[in-house]
Amino acid sequence: AVKPVFSDGHDTGIFSWDLLYELGVKQEQLWSDYQARLAAAGVDRDAPMLEKGGHACSSH
């Protein structure tokens, strides 16, 4: 078994081991579904992000 302990002392993660296992088992199907949703939306995963317009704070 693997039990990571982080430098700040916590030993829990954001995701459960069950979810991580499920994602690993279903990785190929999930990736294929993700790519199909991107194609259906007419977007490309590797396309550059659009720059955000205007800023509310003039000092940043």
Measured at the CA of 11, the angle between CA 30 and CA 18, to 5 degrees, comes to: 30
**Per-residue pLDDT band at 17 (split at 50, 70, 90):** confident
| pTM (2 d.p.) | 0.58
Q: φ, ψ for residue 21 (rounded to 5)?
A: -65, -45
Statement: residue 54 has pLDDT above 70 = no
Work out the average pLDDT over 23-52: 92
Residue range(s) defining the domain that contains residue 32: 16-42
* 22 in any annotated domain: yes
Q: Are 38 and 45 in contact (CB under 8 A)?
A: yes
* 25 in any annotated domain: yes
**Predicted local distance difference test score (pLDDT) of residue 12:** 76
* 29 in any annotated domain: yes
For the chain, the domain total comes to 1
* 30 in any annotated domain: yes
What is the overall mean pLDDT for the chain? 85
